Structure 1
Amino acid sequence: MARAHNPIDRFYSVIPAGGIGSRLWPLSRADAPKFLHDLTGSGQTLLRDTWDRLAPLSGEQRIMVVTGRAHRAAVEAQLPALADPNVVLESEPRDSTAAIGLAAAILEKREPGVIIGSFAADHVIKNQRLFATAVREAVASADAGYITTIGIRPTEPAVGFGYIHTGAEMIIEGAPSALSVTKFVEKPDLATAEGYVASGSYLWNAGMFIARADRLLEEIGRSEPELLAGLLELADGWDDPATRGPAVDRIWPGLKKIAIDYAVAEPAAAEGNLAVIPGYFDWDDVGDFASLAKLNSGGRKSDLAILGENARVLSDASSGIVISQSGRVISLIGVKDIVVVDTPDALLVTTSENAQRVKAVVDALKLTGSTDVL
């Protein structure tokens, strides 16, 4: 069990554990999403890794998990120290603003003045010390009234991530590396990404947001007042079990689906109310099988990464990644950057170059009604 060590005053960690990670199909499914898998060979799930990173910063009793009703049992099995009042269940996915905003509304009602940090359940982060340093600076920036994010110093011109364009240095006590944000940029093409990295003024957008809960709710209200009204109504009766379920069933499905980048981060940046703390730790959102192959081969393109407890793989002059759950023998001869995912009911074969296109297969399966393998 992770132990709190000098937890940050007034800080509460929030872990949104939603989404199925459709670019990791058929490994990631609706009933076994990405965050419930061990994708790095660490011996535990990405969700548990996230908990272990955050527990020293906030304390185990100050971590809230927002997840789907269908995943409650699996989440609680992974996180036995998770306090029951800190399990927030969505009746259906409504995107990140609703998930994080509801957590903020509940926690602000319980503890006015609380500072929350939202950290995805399915990212891979290495170097706890550097991560903790960035979070502590972000909390100081949030306490000063800024919506704050942590951007990752890019190590390559990645096209699978969004980017943050940084501006001038900000003078914030306790946050010496804080920078202003001029804009957020969607996933670029390779040439554009190369220009971003060469300029030195862009960071990867890691989707981490730290803010005083009241300021976060204020920003949601500016851009999405109806969404805020629904969240506040939910939070008002959240801690009464008699009213919570009916309120969720009545209000939650009608909440607008919108990412927090659009509802909060971009408007706050436009108003000069958003700060970014550069993060110097290794980070990856494991967005597709290409990034998963890189993580598990130590970044060496010549290697073949193999995942699966009883994988039976024979390889000759091949590279890429093989994930085996079927027990079948898989033979690879002379193939480069291959991706093979072999499950009992579905087989995926592609290449690292085409890894981002796996989502299109999931979309096609939905259209054809083949939902039994989703």
Structure 2
Amino acid sequence: MLCALIMAGGKGTRFWPLSTEEKPKQFLKLLGEDTMLQMTVNRLEKLVPIERVFIVTGKCYVDLVKEQLPKLPLSNIIIEPVGKNTAPCIALSAFHINKIYEDATIAVLPSDHLIKDEDKFLEMLSAGDEFVSKNEQSIVTIGLRPDRPETGYGYINFGDINCTINSYEVRSVNRFVEKPNLEKAKEYLEDGHFLWNGGMFIWKVANILRLISLHLENTFDVLSEIAATSEENYERVLEEKYNEVDSVSVDYAIMEKADEIYVIPGEFGWDDVGSWSAIERYQRKDEFNNVCLGNVKNIEANNNIVVSSNKPIVLVGIDNIFVVESDDMIFIGKREEMETIRELKMKI
């Protein structure tokens, strides 16, 4: 039985000032009429019913999840009291899902990625689900074929074909690679045996719990104690004990140590929408090459990026700038400086 675990606790600092700690990018409408979180859940509807969709997020974002996903059962919101990286977050969620669906297969997915070809993406998830169901101690990840030497993503070095499921290759994973410099990224692109790591994993719940007990014994023990707590005391014990888990990424804790890891290479119009340049890539431009979100009017203005949250913004005779209006500030700068916005925040 396939369940989806959507990780929605990120801070989205690269989209400041529109994205804030109180309302990060997964809860924003960056690429259409729906928020990034809503887009993620909506694309899963053909494959995973809402009662088998789980959201793991911080306590401060629970109300946003409820507001944006009113059909989601409240019991499917998994609360992480404090951010401790992806391994304990996934482990906490696995214990929770295991109580409801004991023999579940879990697809772990980010909450804020763009996927253009949704049908192909769902076909790949189904292929991964089928493979894991037959190979219960395996992990399947989805790798994206790179089309540029990207330094902002981790990579997956893949090996031989294990099998083919519905025309999708399932290949062995040689190793996971951290974000490279530009020279290395060019080498990976030319080599042809490297994929972007999109942070998407498929595994049996029993298997991920086994691997956590094997490689993160302390975290497993702490979470086992929390999971065994009665319903009336669960929140209190979770608050008291969760800080004792190990703060470590799932890539480092599990992926680099597990034996049976496979990857399905794919091309389905993926982007992690990790920076303002991603918005520029996918938003429609006007005849003067302006990207405008919200109530914006350009008069003889060219090559600008303008985001209005509430107030109307009018640009007159200005070129090559960005303007972002949020609830508490208006941020204006040179367009070429937009990718340094996270660093600029520290100076304010």
| Alignment match of 1:346 (pick from 307, 315, 329) | 329
Structure 1 vs Structure 2 CA RMSD: 2.3
TM-score, normalising length from structure 1?
0.85
Q: Which aligned segments of 4 or more residues in structure 1 are displaced greater than 4 angstroms?
A: 172-176, 350-356, 362-365
- Cα shift at 1:354: 4.5
CA distance in 2, matches of 1:231, 1:174: 37
Structure 1 position 87 matched with structure 2 position 77:
yes
- Cα shift at 1:132: 0.8
CA distance in 1, matches of 2:317, 2:171: 49
Aligned residues: 346
Closer/same/farther in 2, CA of residues 18 and 147 from structure 1, 3 Å limit? same
Matching residue of 2:277? 290
Give the aligned residue type for 1:29: T
CA distance in 2, matches of 1:292, 1:191: 25
Give the aligned residue type for 1:306: C
| Alignment match of 1:323 (pick from 307, 311, 318) | 307
Comparing 112-121 and 227-236, the one that deviates more: 227-236
- Cα shift at 1:315: 4.8
Structure 1 position 139 matched with structure 2 position 129:
yes
- Cα shift at 1:327: 2.0
Matching residue of 1:160? 152
TM-score, normalising length from structure 2?
0.91
| Alignment match of 1:18 (pick from 9, 19, 23) | 9
Closer/same/farther in 2, CA of residues 250 and 177 from structure 1, 3 Å limit? same
Matching residue of 1:121? 111
Q: Percent identity?
A: 29
CA contact (8 A) 1:61 1:83 kept: yes
Closer/same/farther in 2, CA of residues 140 and 242 from structure 1, 3 Å limit? same
- Cα shift at 1:185: 1.6
| Alignment match of 1:311 (pick from 296, 300, 305) | 296
CA contact (8 A) 1:153 1:203 kept: yes
Which structure 1 residue ranges, 5 or more long, are not aligned? 1-9, 366-374
Matching residue of 2:182? 190
Give the aligned residue type for 2:31: T
- Cα shift at 1:175: 8.0
Closer/same/farther in 2, CA of residues 351 and 92 from structure 1, 3 Å limit? farther
Give the 3-state SS of the residue equivalent to 1:67 in structure 2: strand
CA distance in 2, matches of 1:28, 1:92: 19
Closer/same/farther in 2, CA of residues 183 and 110 from structure 1, 3 Å limit? same
Which structure 2 residue ranges, 5 or more long, are not aligned? none
Closer/same/farther in 2, CA of residues 355 and 81 from structure 1, 3 Å limit? same
Once the two structures are superposed, residues 114-167 of structure 1 have per-residue CA deviations (whole angstroms, 9 ceiling, x without a partner) of: 100111111111111100111011112322121111011112222221111111
CA distance in 2, matches of 1:118, 1:26: 28
Matching residue of 2:170? 178
- Cα shift at 1:313: 4.0
Once the two structures are superposed, residues 174-228 of structure 1 have per-residue CA deviations (whole angstroms, 9 ceiling, x without a partner) of: 7851111111122222232222122211111110011001111222223221112
